[in-house]
Each structure stands twice: as structure tokens, then as C-alpha cells.
Structure 1
Amino acid sequence: MLCTVLPIHRAWIHSTLSMHSSSSFSLQSDPSGSGTVGVNYGRLGNDLPSPPQVVQLLKAQGITKVKLYDTDSTVLSALSGSGISVVVALPNVQLSSAAASQSFTDSWIQSNILPYHPNTLIEAIAVGNEVFADPQNTTPFLVPAMKNVYASLVKYDVASSIKVTSPVALSALQTSYPSSSGSFKSDLIEPVITPMLNFLKQTGSYLMVNAYPFFAYSANTDKISLDYALLRNNAGNVDPNNGLVYKSLFDAQIDAVFAAMKALGFNDVKIVVSETGWPSKGDENEVGASEANAAAYNGNLVRRVLTGGGTPLRPNEPLNVYLFALFNENEKPGPTSERNYGLFYPNEQKVYNIPLTAEALAGSPNMMNGSKSQVEAQPPSSVGQTWCVANAGAGEEKLQQALDYACGEGGADCHAIQPGATCYDPNTVEAHASYAFNSYYQRNARGAGPAISPALPMSSLNLPSVFVNFIYHMS
């Protein structure tokens, strides 16, 4: 198969942060072994559709998983028989009771799990949410509560199918830069982090992590580039301790958690990103909050996850991510951004017209079929289409400069020619330049059609004139 750029279809998904009640849905993973992308379903709004309507919406979109931040009976009942997998939650306010008595967790499981499972496919219980950041100081109750919940699952013979975990905020880290120096806060390690990681390891579960590059970028625009935060092509950052190159703040944040776990001897515990997102609107001081940036972040993240590959520190471990949120929620407290993270408006219309499944992404530029040894960054032998390829005669140095421009300022979608991605091979400047130039052309000038000369220099499309590359019209 040829690895070329078809007319651009952006896979933009809007995700969001929640400090309050929410739920999450996941897109089905690509059969090639890539990860999954979930979308949190928050319900802090007075104009949201009913749970049965929401389930129908999710099914219509091809969404196959849901993560709740409670055990609302109307939601769990609506999900029964839907084929959608579910993560439920025991809220922070119940942690002290759950920690104090297995009788409490027995009763909780009897009331909130057994009446629904397995017709409602409950796959995990999130015990608390960002407990270390809870002003009510529920941290001491977390691990005992997790252990009691698990013991109750064992008692009722459902522990083999339901995991126990807990979402952790990045504020639990003492150090996050560089990623290889990631470490947990010293006052949390002995009383809660180490016992929790040991529990997760022993039970075969995973750590949930809430990661928001938006917050880091918004507070450090003088140090963090927007492209780095939005997973767009950029020069990247090299970790001075191990030489790994980071092309996104998201990867750097997740690897900081991996490094922190490794430092405590838990290199084999997996991570699920339980919340991540970028607001489409914010207050004046919320730098970077915009529809375009939200679309770029979530779209690039979805594409990255569904096309496979892990982080630089864990390159072979698929990413599993939940974006927040399903809807814009008009009753969420806090800044404007908190009410503007939704994939859908409450009337069930998309905030962005984007594909939400691996199947929908299959026709996009970054979902090409074929093995890496088979792909080439050249135009296909099709008719009636206009394509752009690099002019090898321009020389490797000039092609590299033009490639950098196209993937940077030019806005070309260059994810597929990054190391390990589907179009990385053949690893030559000419092949990569052809891919990038064609992406740039399809994005910026394809609408000109036959009026564009087959020998038109890319300078007419705003590339520097010395970087001459040709557009071929095949008919």
C-alpha cells in the first residue's frame, strides 16, 4: 500500500476536565493493537438528555465503553444490554465508611453492582477521585477502602471480572520535569502511594491518572510551546537523563508518572488516563482556551492513541485514555472552561463534526493500511486527483528545511511520519517531505483543482520559494 495523504479529514474530539461528577465513554480500539479513547459523561447540567437517550447517542456513535463517577441507577439500567462496558465509582464522601468496614462495602456491592452486573458490563470500580487533592482529607481512607471493596468483590465472586482502581491527579507528583526524574510527593509515598501500587500490582489492576497539558501550558506559556501542548509537530524536548525525545507534553506527563512508579519498584503497573482534555472556551486569564485548540488537542490525541504506540518510556504499551466530557455542563462551578469541554451540546449536536471510532478514522490520512515495510510517501496511481510530491532535485538540506516548515508553521499533519508511526518508513527526507508537502497541499490548496499548474512551486502556497516541489495532476 502507498502511504499518501488523502483529502484532509480532521479527527477532532473534544475532551474535558471535571473536578466533580462525571462519566466516561470509550471508543473501540483499533484491531492492530492500539489503545482506546474514552469520553467522560458528566451530568452537572439542567438541560442534558435522559440516560436512555444518552445510551442511544453513544451507540449511534460507535462508542463501546462508559466510565461513571457514581452508580446512578437510571444510568446503569439504561446501559443494561447495550454492550457498552462500564466503570463505576465509589465517591470520596463514602471513603471513610468503606475504609472502616467491609460490611459497608458488602452492602455497597450488593446495592450498586450485583443488581446490574453482568447485563450492565461493569469492568472496574474507581474508588474515589483525585483523593490526594480532596480538601476533606480523605487520603488516609483510600487504600483501606480499596481493599475492602476488593474483598467484597471476592466474596460475591465477581473480582475476576471487575478491577479496583483510583484516579490520581498529577499534583501527586513532587517532580515531573524532566520526565525521567518523576517522583511522588514524599509525604504520600509511605502512607498511601506504595500500599496502593502494591495493591494494584497484586490484584492485576492499573493506576488511573488525570492529566491536563492545558493547565501546564496556560500557566507557563513563556516556557511551553503551544504546538508541544497540542500534540502538533514540533522540535520536541530531549530528556537529559536518558536521551528520549518528547514530542508532546501529554507524553511527558504520563512518563513522569511511569518514572515515579519505577522509582518505587512498580515498573510493571499499567496506567489508564482517566481524564484529559482542553477547554473550547475560557475566561480571559485562561490562556489557550479556544475551540481551535480544543479540537487540535483532542483530535491529535485521538489519532495518536487509535493509530497505536505508547510513550517514549513505554513505547510498546498502548495508551488507554478517557477524554472529558460528553456534554457541555451548564451547572459546573468554577471558571468558564469547566462548562465548555463537551463533545456534544445538550441537544446532542456535535461540538465538532469529527469521527469518533477507529473505523471512521480509517479513511483519514493517518490510518493507512499496510505494514511499515510496504509504505511509501508517494502519490497513488489514481486518476482525477491532484497530489504533491517532493522535488528530489532541490537537495536534502532544502527539502529538510521545507519539511520543517510544512510540519510546523505550515500546519501539515505529520503524525504518521514520526518514529514508529505508520508512514515513518522509508526513513528518508524525500519520502517524509513528500508526505508532509502533500498534507500541506491537501490542507491549503486542493480546492484550486486543475487551475494549479503541475509544476507550481510550493512558494505559491506560502512555502519559501527556494524549496521547489511539484504538484502533479493525474488524469
Structure 2
Amino acid sequence: MLCLSRSMGIFACCSLLLLFSTAAEAGIVGVNYGRVANNLPSATEVVELLKSNGISHVKLYDADPSFLRALAGTGVKVVVTVPNEILASTAARPGFALAWVQRNVVAYYPSTQIQAIAVGNEVFVYPRNLTTFLVPAMQNVHAALSSLRLDGVIKISSPIALTALQNSYPSSAGSFRPELVVSVLQPMLEFLRQTGSYLMVNAYPFFAYEANADVISLDYALFRPNPGVVDSGNGLRYYSLLDAQIDAVFAAMSAIKYEDIKIAISETGWPSKGDADETGAGQANAAAYNGNLIRRVLSGNAGTPLRPQADIDVYLFALFNENQKPGPTSERNYGLFYPDEGKVYDVEFTLGGRNGGGLKWEDVRGKGPSTTLPPSSSSGTVRTSSTGESWCVANAMVGKSQLQAAMDYACGEGGADCRPIQRGAACYEPDTVEAHASYAFNSYYQSKGRAMGTCDFEGAAYVVSQPPRIGNCALPSGA
């Protein structure tokens, strides 16, 4: 992430948006490994950290040889980057591109599973104007891969910042900056189409929220339950800011006839600390944003309202806090880990064995619902009715598989009374996972005296203050 990415705050107008609507194939969750710091662990220690936390994909901002050697034989997939500083040489000299590929890819592949090459990073906002070099550099790197018969297994792309958009709100009106369309975006997208690759997009809802906290809901920015916002152009209802940002890019691509190109979110994240004027920065919000996003992607809900079946991969920014990054405090506090390898906050990179294995629901269900995060960061502020009543309902955004796993715990070891949702019983209809899960979660919540943390289930549930119903069946309050 370039510090200049903070200019994406203007994208804040991008809105209020998202829903997980139809489930897609589960995407992958990786991390960006930035090294603008003087206190980071060794390459071998970093690789062990990735493995021990179930992180199966990593993206570099260069092609660090010590790290690529350390990855050999681990199965961890890596994206390497041609730095902006050598973009001009890569574009001007095919021999330079070939030598770079031989030195930084061929020397390690296939023992080190290099799966993609990012050519440059946020080139359009880089201090030096490198835009004209981008597509020729991508073409030369691809030609080098082709000559080495690696073009079929290693993709080429380039991360763009959301500042490449001229319009972003509503999402349906998304369009690229006119001066970029003919000069670079159309040629780049055509290259991606011809090579079967995808567009990398760096998207940060934090910047939009920070600049517009008076009009953008924090729940909307953090994937928490919220009423959603209807796009006036396409009628779709959005429940998260990230979805709105990505659909604005999809709309912009569609406007220039490249709606078939896939997108990967090459950077996204939330700072755990910021300056006094950086509204929303903090550990609880960072944990909520990244934790909820991970659960969503691994649950098979990686699509957007405009592209519900899109299997979008996500790379979180960043692995470590980086103490030498310039700019506001937030820039040095996007890390999931401190340099001593301790977690900045608790977040899991696996769900039900996906994304490389790791923590499964059955590993934690004996402990009851997760209380890793305070209820305000995982499921919104708890509010009760004027009579002191509250209810626990299912969060459909996590997907059916997580709802089912959580319901199995609630009705089993959790001790919830699930007899009313058995076939033929009073609350069986409607026969949906979401409806049955709401009944089970509420039964558990009420049986525990509505104690803090008993309506979470790893983000699968949240508290409401109005009496919900399942068909003709009202959920008991226990008050």
C-alpha cells in the first residue's frame, strides 16, 4: 500500500453497500508481506509463522531471495512483484524482463510455488509517472514466461488503487478516469483477457469511513449486520462498503466492455491504531473487519451483489506492523502481527478446514461461543428493548455452512432446546438453515441469561432489540 493510497478517502463517496446474496465457491485469504521496517523476523521465522497460522497464500512487494528460498517445499503459494522502480527498464528491454524472470522466478519455481507476478503496484498514483510503461512491462514479462513455458501456470497482473475511478457512487455508476481508459486501462484489460488473468484491486473501506464517518455506518464498513443501502441505479441492496467499492470497479470495467475480467482484492485491511483524527482506527475495529471478511470469504460468500458467483480472492494488508512507513500512525499499524510475532488481535485464517486446514468449528465448539472479541466489535452494539428484552438471531452473511456448524453446537453440546424446530414441530417452518439457526441461537442465548458473549458463535449471530419471528413462531425472550 502506497501512502498515497490515503487519497482514496475521496472514494468515500463510494458509499454504503453489500450483501453476500448467493454463495459462491470459497475464495482464498492471503496476506501481504511488507518489509518497510527494521525489526522484522528472519525469512525462515516468517515462513514458520505463516504455516503455524494456516496462512497458505502470501504476496510480496518484490522477489526477496531469502524468503523465496525459505518457502521452498512448504506449499505456501506466493505472488512476487516487479517493483515500480524498475518498471521503465522492464518495459524498454525484453532482455531485462527475461533476466528478471530467470533470476526471481525460474531460480525458485516449482519448489517455491510462485503463482502470479504483480507488475508494479498502484502505478497510476506513484510519485513518478510510470503509467506509459505498465502494459509494455507486463507484455515483456509475459513474453519471458512464454519463452520458458511458464505462462500457463503463472499469471500476470498489476494492482490498481481505487483512485483509478472517476465515479464510484453509486456503485452502478462506476467509471474509470477518462485519461486512463484509452492510454492504459483498455490495453491492460485486453492483456488480462488474452492471458486468462485477473485484475488486482487495492480497496480500503477504512479510508472511505474515516473521511465520511458522519454518513457511513461503522457496521456497514465492518461487515456487521446493518439495514443495507439500495443502489439507486441497479436496485441492489448493499450491506458492506467493500462490496460497493468492488462493484464500482466491476461497473467501470463493464462500461468499457470488459465485464468478463475477474477481480482479486490484492490489498485490504484496517489499522489497529491511528492518530486522534483517524476516526475508526483501533484494535476492535481491525479485528472485526479482518475477522468478518475472512469468515465471509472462506464460507463461500466471496461474491458481490453485482457478481454473486465471483470467487474473489483476498489478500489482507499486512502481515506485520511496519515501523518505518511514513505518514500517519495508521500506516505503521495495519499488521496482523507485531514484529515479535505476537498477534495484534486474534483472528483465524481457516474455517472448517478450508484455506489449507487449521481451526475447525469442532475444535472450539466445546468452549461455547467465541468471546475473543467484545460483542461491540463482533456483532454490533447490544441494545435491549424498553422492557429489557433482547433476542439472538442468525447472521446470514456468514453462509449456510457456518450457520449449520454453529447450530449443531447450540442444539448439541450447547444445550439449546431445539425441539420446536424438528420436522413437524411448531417452529419447523420455514425449513431454512437461517430460520432454524435463529431459533437455536436464541434458545442458547436465553438459557445463558443473555450474558455478554453468548450471542456470537464466531460471528454467526447477533443481538436484536425487536421481537423476531420464524414464520408464525415468535422467539421466546426469556425475560
Tell me if structure 1 keeps the 8 A contact 2:416–2:444: no
Equivalenced residue count is 401
Whether 1:260 and 2:284 are equivalent positions in the alignment is: no
**What is the TM-score when the length of structure 1 is the normalising length?**
0.77
For residue 274 of structure 1, the aligned residue among 266, 276, 298 is 266
The CA deviation string for residues 190-241 of structure 1, in whole angstroms up to 9 with x for no partner, is 0000000000000000000000000001001122111111111111011112
Whether 1:69 and 2:61 are equivalent positions in the alignment is: yes
Tell me if structure 2 keeps the 8 A contact 1:109–1:153: yes
The CA deviation string for residues 237-272 of structure 1, in whole angstroms up to 9 with x for no partner, is 111122111000000000110111111111110000
Tell me if structure 2 keeps the 8 A contact 1:208–1:274: yes
The CA deviation string for residues 126-166 of structure 1, in whole angstroms up to 9 with x for no partner, is 00000001120001100010001101111111111111100
Q: Cα 1:96–1:464, aligned 2, differ >3 Å: closer, same or farther?
A: closer
Amino acid at match of 1:237: V
Structure 1 residue aligned with 2:331: 338
Cα displacement (A) at 1:88: 0.2
Structure 1 residue aligned with 2:476: 470
1:304 and 1:327 mapped to 2: Cα distance?
22
Structure 1 residue aligned with 2:316: 323
For residue 289 of structure 1, the aligned residue among 281, 301, 319 is 281
Cα displacement (A) at 1:333: 1.1
SS of 1:385 mapped into structure 2: coil
Amino acid at match of 1:76: L
Amino acid at match of 1:162: I
Structure 1 residue aligned with 2:96: 104
2:78 and 2:465 mapped to 1: Cα distance?
48
Cα displacement (A) at 1:287: 0.6
Q: Which runs of 5+ in 2 are unaligned?
A: 5-23, 354-358, 370-397, 422-428, 455-462
Cα displacement (A) at 1:342: 1.1
Whether 1:181 and 2:173 are equivalent positions in the alignment is: yes
Structure 2 residue aligned with 1:249: 241
2:277 and 2:448 mapped to 1: Cα distance?
32
Tell me if structure 2 keeps the 8 A contact 1:355–1:361: no
Cα displacement (A) at 1:437: 3.5
Q: Cα 1:389–1:347, aligned 2, differ >3 Å: closer, same or farther?
A: farther
1:333 and 1:282 mapped to 2: Cα distance?
13
1:103 and 1:201 mapped to 2: Cα distance?
25
Q: Cα 1:91–1:448, aligned 2, differ >3 Å: closer, same or farther?
A: closer
Structure 2 residue aligned with 1:53: 45
2:215 and 2:89 mapped to 1: Cα distance?
44
SS of 2:56 mapped into structure 1: strand
SS of 2:266 mapped into structure 1: strand
% same residue: 54
For residue 349 of structure 1, the aligned residue among 310, 319, 342 is 342
Tell me if structure 1 keeps the 8 A contact 2:273–2:333: yes
1:56 and 1:375 mapped to 2: Cα distance?
29
Q: Cα 1:436–1:162, aligned 2, differ >3 Å: closer, same or farther?
A: same
For residue 128 of structure 1, the aligned residue among 92, 104, 120 is 120
For residue 445 of structure 1, the aligned residue among 425, 450, 475 is 450
Amino acid at match of 1:326: L
Instruction: Give matches, 1:86-165, under 5 Å.
Output: 86-165=78-157
Tell me if structure 2 keeps the 8 A contact 1:88–1:122: yes
Tell me if structure 1 keeps the 8 A contact 2:164–2:177: yes
Amino acid at match of 2:183: P
RMSD of Structure 2 on Structure 1 (CA): 3.3
SS of 2:75 mapped into structure 1: coil
1:236 and 1:448 mapped to 2: Cα distance?
24
Of residues 440-449 and 181-190 in structure 1, the stretch that sits farther from structure 2 once superposed is 440-449
Whether 1:382 and 2:382 are equivalent positions in the alignment is: no
Cα displacement (A) at 1:376: 11
Q: Cα 1:149–1:446, aligned 2, differ >3 Å: closer, same or farther?
A: same
Tell me if structure 2 keeps the 8 A contact 1:375–1:425: no
1:109 and 1:448 mapped to 2: Cα distance?
51
Amino acid at match of 2:412: S
Structure 2 residue aligned with 1:404: none
Cα displacement (A) at 1:289: 0.4
Tell me if structure 2 keeps the 8 A contact 1:166–1:207: yes
Tell me if structure 1 keeps the 8 A contact 2:273–2:282: yes
Cα displacement (A) at 1:304: 0.8
Amino acid at match of 2:315: Y
SS of 1:106 mapped into structure 2: helix
1:336 and 1:357 mapped to 2: Cα distance?
29
Q: Cα 1:375–1:136, aligned 2, differ >3 Å: closer, same or farther?
A: closer
Whether 1:38 and 2:30 are equivalent positions in the alignment is: yes
Q: Cα 1:75–1:311, aligned 2, differ >3 Å: closer, same or farther?
A: same
Tell me if structure 2 keeps the 8 A contact 1:390–1:433: no
